[in-house]
Structure 1
Amino acid sequence: MQVAIQQEIERSEESRYDHRLHGVLLVSSGYSCTEVGQLFGQAATTVQRWVQRFERGGFEGLREGERPGRPRTLDESQWALIEADLRKTPRDFGFEAGLWDGPVLSEHLRQRYGIELGVRQCQRLFRQMGFRLRKPRPQVAQSDPVRVATVKKTAAPGKARRR
């Protein structure tokens, strides 16, 4: 039950504000920051921070501040260069791969720009730049394309499917 309540508090900025407001109210009523922290499932230092924020900024001090997150690894000029690189093929940069994917982009960034980004972060980078990952359908080694086309589930262009 306590976990569900904590999740509900974290759900919105307004509920987090109310939570901090209640904590400060309890401290102003004589409870210690440690006691409030135990009641709220928070560290005493967190409650102390709420009180300090209230003392400095009043009610507005308890509201959510800007959460900018981690700064970008790439600056604007690098971003534009990488976007241009992605419009070419990996082979243009000496890679064996014909299409860009996370591992290839990660290696490209390391070699060309000295930037270390993991595969998952590179996959996010594709989305942020508006690119999609496309993988070719695997062709069974040494298969006859004509025979493959006869058993394929999708109809060849211009042919209707049999029922």
Structure 2
Amino acid sequence: MAAAVKLRRDYSASDLRRLAAASKHANQSRRLLSLAAVLDGMDREQAALIGGMDRQTLRDWVHRFNELGPDGLRDIRSKGHPPRLSKAQLAELSAIVETGPDRALHGVVRWRRVDLKQVVLERFGVDYHERTIGKILKALGFSHVSARPRHPGQDPKVIEEFKKTSPGP
């Protein structure tokens, strides 16, 4: 059977408990308390149960603690996927949306997400879902605005005559 990984000794069990109490990260606190139990001489399997993990996971956290100290016990958040459009391409897309479509060239009178999806694919070679195009537009500061429908044969004189005016006092 392999020997247990040695835990660094520059922190005492009480130091780790104090750090756990002061931490604003629950997972880091659990890990610190498990390591404090190890320093107190508790069996590693029992110490792992304190933190809600198995012995192998505790061993992995011991490696991180030895390498990075208490801050190494925090969760590392993913930064997500890198953006597929550069800042220059996003600025160009913003200009395209701002100027609006050319009816002869694009075949539409106003931009829809499906149309912009096609423009982005043709211009930049990136295929986004329509929903993602909407998220990009929102991030660029655009909002969905839909004009109130108006019939092309609408007559302003008829509208004025139809309005009901109440007599003044």
**How would you bin the TM-score normalised by the shorter chain?**
0.5 to 0.7
Q: Distance in 2 between matches of 1:161 and 1:54?
A: 79
| Aligned positions of 1:1-163 closer than 5 A | 14-25=25-36, 29-32=42-45, 36=49, 40=52, 47-65=58-76, 67-91=78-102, 94-139=105-150, 144=154, 149=159
How many residues end up aligned between the 2 structures? 142
Structure 1 portions without partners, runs of 5+: 1-11
How has the CA–CA distance of structure 1 residues 104 and 36 changed in structure 2, closer, same or farther, with 3 Å as cutoff? farther
Percent identity over the alignment is 22
For the pair shown, which has the larger CA radius of gyration, 1 or 2? 2
Give 3-state SS (helix, strand or coil) of 2:106's partner: coil
**CA displacement at 1:99 relative to structure 2:** 2.5
CA distance in 1, matches of 2:64, 2:158: 69
Aligned-pair Cα RMSD in Å:
4.0
Point out where structure 2 has 5 or more consecutive residues left out of the alignment: 1-22
User: Displacement, 1:27?
Assistant: 5.9
Higher relative contact order (CA 8 A, sep 6+): 2
Task: Please give the alpha-carbon distance, in whole angstroms, between the structure 2 residues aligned to 1:148 and 1:91.
Answer: 33
1:32–1:96 distance in 2 versus 1, CA, 3 Å: farther
Which deviates more, 48-57 or 92-101? 92-101
- Say if 1:101 and 1:123, in contact at 8 Å, map to a contact too: no
